[in-house]
Structure 1
Amino acid sequence: MTQIQPVVLCGGSGTRLWPLSRKTLPKQFVPLVGNKSLLLLTLERLRRLSKDVMCVASEEHRFLVQEGIDAAQVSGKQLLEPVARNTAAAMAATALLTDPERLLLFAPADHHIPDADRFVATILKGVPAALAGHLVTFGIEPTFPSTAYGYIRQGDKLDATLGDDAGHAVAAFIEKPVAARAEQLLLEGGHLWNAGILLVQAKVLIAALQEHASDILDACKLATASVDVDGDFLRMDSAAFGRCRSQSIDYAVLEKCARVAVIPFDGRWSDVGSWNAVADLHETDANGNRISGHGFAMNATNTFIHAPGRPVVALGTKDLLVVDTPDALLVVHSDCAEQVKDVVALLSTHGHSQATRHRRIPRPWGAYDSIDDGERFAVKRLTVKPGARLALRMHHHRAEHWVVVKGAARVICDEKAQLVKENESIYIPVGAVYRLENAGKTTLEVIEVQTGGYLGDDDIVRLDDLASAGEKRFA
């Protein structure tokens, strides 16, 4: 079988699934299906094609991607984008760093495709056309007249020498239509939803970029001319990549190129692009209600409840989406699900951090959860992975009190080491140089109480960044 290099595109800001998905934790990293993230499900699906999976991700999300890679039991590099420049630049940079003959399968990280076997079989149908110099896309057989997706119009079948299932030439790409136009496309037949998945040889993609988007290719050539290798992280030249034009591969290349093919996929697919789409992933009860977590629907109809933490009760509701998180609650009529992104803009305008940040913030060493804060104090819950440690640091304006509630901590404070076990505590005075390490083989849990006149993150002075290959810049 021809070796395919899967490439997962991990970008996205995640505003349409607020409050669960936010800038610091977009939807592809959020456990949405069976307590697994869409990224993890994508990596598991692509593992059937190859256990060597390349990911294109932002610097900010690199450790979240690495967690997914580890959980999926795959290997591969991460190409880190210093700034977001859409799919054309991400694909161009990947192709430039790959063997020109290699088949690349570009797949978004945030799609839900439960029938992995059918997905793999469909991808393999595209290999002959891709090796013959086509850019092969994959379209979803539409099940309703959606206005949320772009469409692909199928043209003539490809040459019979490529096989009976090699697909059709693309006659046209159609922008997201209005409702009447979507109904017309569905009635006409021969139209597919654009899934945003592309199979192409690296050299073919480079040639197409040279012809139709040479400025993007040139910028990416400069950005990839000198790559900084940090373990499995590949960093491009920030300034050169930043000068690249931001455009999707559809606009930059596919809509202009004559050798684009499409293969239909008739399995279940969702881009999980709204809370209605998330609701559709759950089974309904007799009244059309869908429940995730600790939700309860009483005398309710067509109500979706996402309640991963505390109990949430919907009484007498109809056609509502209720999404609960520790620091924000969304209640929206199902007809208005596409307007959730406007809520994020409203909250940002009013200065609410919940618009972009979660209470729980993942870190390479674990995570911290901001439990409470007020004038001159803040309370956090730290979880530190086995074998992990925080960077050596100090504070000018605050002291910290730590209580170990689970596991064992090794604390270095002003060059003095101390083992702190469960139900024990330690005090870190203002100005002390300290480090926290997990001294055990299980997750360490610590309650941290900060006190002082200023508690901002910029009061953290990191004295090293552990930039060794094995520790990959813990912060």
Structure 2
Amino acid sequence: MSSSKTVKHVILTGGVGSRLWPLSRKSTPKQYIKLFKGKSLFEMTIKRNLQIANDVVVVGNIDNYHLSNEVVNSLGVSPLNIIEATPRNTAAAIAFAAFATSKDAVLVVTPSDHIIQNDELYELAMKNAIQLAEQGNIVTFGINPTKPETGYGYIEFEGNDVLSFREKPNKETAEYFIEQGNFLWNSGMFCFKASVLLEELKKFEPEVYEASKKAWEHSIDGKLSIEDSKKIPSISIDYAVMERSKKIKVVPGAFEWSDLGSFESIYDYLKSIGHSIDENGNMVIGSDVYTAFLGLEDTIFVHTKDANLILQKEKAQQVKKLYNALDRVDSRLLD
């Protein structure tokens, strides 16, 4: 999709992926793991948006920006790098990108750790969102749900209008959303003019706006200081703007999407591309050594050089509890 407009792809690379331990570590978060036919999610995200945007803005942190640079250099991409000294959540991260670009630029903001299939439908959704953003709207992307997922937030919608945002539901509520037929999964992807987003952020969260602006103005070669960063309130863009602004629109996406936020979603994706499982649905990740499962069904065995994880697929959301427990007992296993 070519465009005469200034469209910039802002890619957010923060996050450790704690629900994917031991694959995802502080030193190599999930978006940089080459688990997907030899490619990382970060690389796939960059490539997916090269046809949509004129430029790339990478918002990373002091711990992972070198990993991003390795990928963009190998792709021959020269992004604008914004390096956070300490993460201050998505409102600040997105504000930095908006301050760093021209006020009339349209920003397409995506996380770096999602899997998306069917590029034609993805580009169609992006084209629709860019048109709405040009008209002064702040656009969020909703995904047509395929099951009553409890790990995602939901968007109640009518056409391009957002009726409400809903938190991650329990199973009964998720089933109700699916039955209603006018609920979408909240993808965490956005599109807007830089100036429009900043105006709304200044209106609803002036402290975040001013502190982020000051931090950006004091930055050197895209690097933000720890002193300025610590003064920025930590709040998500959802709470800061999306759930409060009157300028929000939603573009429903028919493309296949997953945030790959748990081993259950990793399992489903790997199975869809031919990763082997046994007759009882058991899967091995990270090892070619012969592994047998006796008396087990839908079990995932994850192998790394210093840790093994064995879990039932439906218990995948509990990995974060294990991660937090390890953080208190032996954080070396998280590095």
Please give the range of the TM-score, normalised by the shorter of the 2 chains: over 0.9
Determine whether 1:55 maps to 2:58. Answer: yes
Determine whether 1:227 maps to 2:219. Answer: yes
Structure-2 residue corresponding to 1:281: 269
Q: TM-score, normalised by structure 1?
A: 0.67
In structure 1, distance between residues paired with 2:225 and 2:324: 31
Residue of structure 2 aligned with 1:315, choices 287, 293, 302: 293
Residue pairs, 1:437-456, within 5 angstroms:
none
Measure how far apart 1:128 and its partner are: 2.1
Q: Which runs of 5+ in 2 are unaligned?
A: none
Residue pairs, 1:215-254, within 5 angstroms:
215-229=207-221, 234-254=222-242
CA contact (8 A) 1:223 1:238 kept: no
Q: Name which one, 1 or 2, has greater alpha-carbon Rg.
A: 1
Measure how far apart 1:32 and its partner are: 2.0
CA 49–223 in structure 1, closer or farther in 2 if over 3 Å, else same: same
CA contact (8 A) 2:219 2:225 kept: yes
Q: TM-score, normalised by structure 2?
A: 0.95
CA 335–202 in structure 1, closer or farther in 2 if over 3 Å, else same: same
Structure-2 residue corresponding to 1:176: 168
Structure-1 residue corresponding to 2:204: 212
Residue of structure 2 aligned with 1:9, choices 12, 15, 24: 12
CA contact (8 A) 1:151 1:174 kept: yes
Q: More strand by proportion, 1 or 2?
A: 1
The structure, 1 or 2, with the larger RCO (C-alpha pairs under 8 Å, 6+ apart) is: 2
In structure 2, distance between residues paired with 1:271 and 1:92: 23
In structure 1, distance between residues paired with 2:54 and 2:99: 21
In structure 2, distance between residues paired with 1:284 and 1:290: 7
In structure 2, distance between residues paired with 1:106 and 1:273: 18
Measure how far apart 1:78 and its partner are: 1.1
Structure-1 residue corresponding to 2:281: 302
- 1:223-265, CA deviations, whole angstroms, 9 ceiling, x for partnerless residues? 0112211xxxx11232112111111100011100011000111
Query: How big is the alpha-carbon RMSD for the aligned residues of Structure 1 and Structure 2?
Result: 1.7
| SS of equivalent to 1:79 | strand
Measure how far apart 1:323 and its partner are: 0.5
Residue pairs, 1:137-216, within 5 angstroms:
137-155=140-158, 157=159, 168-216=160-208
Determine whether 1:272 maps to 2:260. Answer: yes
In structure 1, distance between residues paired with 2:257 and 2:75: 20
CA contact (8 A) 2:7 2:54 kept: no
Q: Partner amino acid for 1:101?
A: D
CA 315–128 in structure 1, closer or farther in 2 if over 3 Å, else same: closer
Q: Partner amino acid for 1:344?
A: Y
Structure-2 residue corresponding to 1:416: none
Residue of structure 2 aligned with 1:341, choices 296, 316, 320: 320
Residue pairs, 1:90-169, within 5 angstroms:
90-155=93-158, 157=159, 168-169=160-161
> Percent identity of the aligned residues?
32
Q: Partner amino acid for 2:318?
A: Q
CA contact (8 A) 2:15 2:29 kept: yes
In structure 1, distance between residues paired with 2:75 and 2:188: 22
Determine whether 1:329 maps to 2:308. Answer: yes
| SS of equivalent to 1:183 | helix
Measure how far apart 1:98 and its partner are: 1.1
Residue of structure 2 aligned with 1:255, choices 233, 243, 251: 243
Structure-2 residue corresponding to 1:414: none
In structure 2, distance between residues paired with 1:90 and 1:337: 28
In structure 1, distance between residues paired with 2:41 and 2:121: 18
| SS of equivalent to 1:139 | strand
CA contact (8 A) 1:69 1:75 kept: yes
Q: More helix by proportion, 1 or 2?
A: 2
The count of residues paired between Structure 1 and Structure 2 equals 331
CA 352–203 in structure 1, closer or farther in 2 if over 3 Å, else same: closer
CA 71–119 in structure 1, closer or farther in 2 if over 3 Å, else same: farther
Measure how far apart 1:312 and its partner are: 4.1
CA 214–312 in structure 1, closer or farther in 2 if over 3 Å, else same: farther
CA contact (8 A) 1:104 1:199 kept: yes
Q: Which runs of 5+ in 1 are unaligned?
A: 158-167, 358-475
| SS of equivalent to 1:148 | coil
- 1:152-207, CA deviations, whole angstroms, 9 ceiling, x for partnerless residues? 1113x4xxxxxxxxxx1211101011111111111111110000111000000010
CA contact (8 A) 2:7 2:55 kept: no
CA 312–217 in structure 1, closer or farther in 2 if over 3 Å, else same: farther
